[in-house]
Amino acid sequence: MGLPETLAVLMVVAVCVLLFAGYPVALTLGGVSLAFAGLGHLTGAMSFSFLGALPQRVTGVMTNEVLLAIPLFIFMGVMLERSRIAEDLLETMGRLFGSLRGGLGVSVAIVGTLLAAAKGVVGATTVTMGLIVLPTMLRYGYDKALAAGTVAATATLAQIFPPATVLVLLGDQLSTAYQAAQLSAGNFAPSSLTVSDLFAGAIVPGFALVAMYLLYLVFMAVVFPHTSPAIPPDPAAPKGFALARRLIAVLVAPILLILAVLGSILGGIATPTEAASVGAVGSILLAALKRTLGGALGDVVRRTAQVTAMIFVILIGATLFSLVFRGLGGDDMVHRALGHLPGGAAGAILAVMVAMFLLGFVMDAFEIIFVVVPIVAVPLLKLHGIDPIWLGVMMAMNLQTSYMHPPLGPTLFFLRGVAPPEITTRHIYLGIIPFVAIQLFALVVLWYLPGLATALPHALYGGK
């Protein structure tokens, strides 16, 4: 390994060390990249003029129409959080299933799935469910670890269910990598990969994951009944037809919004960006109908601006990082390393998946998408027989795991911030471990059954 490639490896190590030490992500990526670009220039490993491509790349990021969906989906998610739709859903579903042992946990998983599909933002879903659900589960005698784990795991479904922000960003990065891989192989009429493909590919694996969560909750209720007691009946609660009418009333609005957004994307009626604008307007209308718009709009706009700015600053820092890494020959080094791993394409994908899982301890999903995916995606997609949609869904589910596994999963910190005092960090960690195991099992199933991810998008849009 020559000097340039040694510097490329040291740059990656330096970023990981500084991130683990708690330095800001965007500043770490930009600062380390500039430092190693200067070091490479002084040692002759690369020319500093290589950074002349940075302004064009940043302009490309800021004018990318696909990425315009990010602030719109974030706005939709935050607005739905402020409009108290989640509270109505949780209350009604809890009454529907709560009389059964483990019924409240099942209700939480179902509502978490609906919120994931409606919001697409993990932080908002975690905070909403943590504030509403955890005190209720504890009040009715649920095991503390099981309650915390159920809330944390179902909140991270917002990472895999469309319109997940992660899927939008991952689709944009993989689209560029897929075209680059085809062009380098001599295919000058390359096929395309879109965010819509990933949305369609994630639906079946997402529901399969929810089914596994529900099976685990039912298992705990049957085998360890003390962990999941039934809710005592409330004489004042609506029953029968009144309960059914209440359920329909709270379900119609979010389901119509989900169908409007996802249906327009999957049906080819609208692009993800256009559908995101529909979702944003729809969330405003729902808030207006519930008479919560006036006090929420300003707060929603500010929160949307904060999250969007955070994502794009990280993206710009990651763009500089990938540019310097490529200038130091890191791309060629990764390509050679993946190509010479035992097991061929399967061995290369397994190595990348393990690396992404481990990086989840020190980096969040956005950082991994912006830093790691551009480096490894092109070499992987050059290998024979790899479906880009399957690879994208595998990466998305892996990144979802990084959001929830101890000790640094962001979902765990979101939950820790809003959990009641009797829920300790130990309860959260113990409770999430079974769900992490389920998540890893789901990845194994998807590995051996790639059709779970590819059948729907191929049926809707044809083969890649």
Enumerate the domain spans of the chain: 3-461
Render pLDDT for 429-438 as a digit per residue (tens, 0 to 9).
Answer: 899 999 999 9
Q: What is the pLDDT of residue 108?
A: 84
| Low-confidence stretches of the chain (pLDDT beneath 70) | 1, 22, 86-87, 94, 98, 118-125, 188-189, 233-240, 243, 339, 361-364, 407-408, 462-464
Q: What is the dihedral of CA 434, 136, 303, 253, to 10 degrees?
A: 100
Q: What is the pLDDT of residue 7?
A: 87
Find where tokens 């919001």 sit.
119
| Backbone CA torsion sign across 94, 100, 103, 107 | negative
Q: What is the pLDDT of residue 422?
A: 85
Q: Residue 456 has which token pair?
A: 């729907």
Q: Which of 229, 232, 244, 161 is nearest to 200 (CA)?
A: 161
Q: What is the pLDDT of residue 439?
A: 92
Total-model pTM: 0.79
Rg of the chain over all Cα atoms, to the nearest angstrom: 23
Distances in Å between the Cα of 268 and the Cα atoms of 37, 151, 179, 399 are: 44, 34, 21, 27
Q: What is the pLDDT of residue 292?
A: 72
Q: What is the pLDDT of residue 237?
A: 60
Q: What is the pLDDT of residue 241?
A: 72
> Contact 431/144 with Cβ under 8 angstroms?
yes
> Contact 415/212 with Cβ under 8 angstroms?
no
CB-side neighbour CA atoms (13 Å) of 375: 31
Q: What is the pLDDT of residue 452?
A: 93
CB-side neighbour CA atoms (13 Å) of 290: 23
Q: What is the pLDDT of residue 212?
A: 95
DSSP 101: T
> Contact 400/202 with Cβ under 8 angstroms?
no
Distances in Å between the Cα of 232 and the Cα atoms of 98, 99, 145, 151, 461 are: 8, 7, 21, 21, 49
Q: What is the pLDDT of residue 448?
A: 92
Q: What is the pLDDT of residue 407?
A: 66
Alpha-carbon span 265 to 384, nearest angstrom: 29
Find where tokens 């075209």 sit.
179
Alpha-carbon span 383 to 395, nearest angstrom: 16
